[in-house]
Amino acid sequence: MANKSQWVRTLSEVLGRNTEVKKFTSKKGTEYETACVPQLDAIVVGTPPEKKDETGAVAGYSYPIYDRTLAATFSISAPNFLDGVIF
């Protein structure tokens, strides 16, 4: 069986923007570092649907956004409803 190539691109390569590495703590208390985009100029498309946890409680929101620079649509998740926020 032949080996398959695996391509892994960084967030900055995918979005074409500078990133910063930030530390976060998971819900389980584990610290981790990940790349973040400090500012993303994009347009929110529509109303964000609620994300529910296993009990059915609202666990966050998934914002569909349009990035004019890339001419691409994708989602950004946030734990709270962001009223009046411009991405």
- Total domains present in the chain: 1
* pLDDT on residue 2: 64
* pLDDT on residue 1: 57
H or E element: which one contains 51? strand 50-52
Structural domain includes residue 20: no
Structural domain includes residue 8: no
Structural domain includes residue 43: yes
Structural domain includes residue 52: yes
Mean pLDDT of the chain: 86
Structural domain includes residue 18: no
The pTM assigned to this predicted structure is 0.59
Residues spanned by the domain of 74: 39-87
Structural domain includes residue 87: yes
Cα radius of gyration rounded to whole Å, the chain? 16
* pLDDT on residue 41: 81
Q: Is residue 85's pLDDT more than 80?
A: no
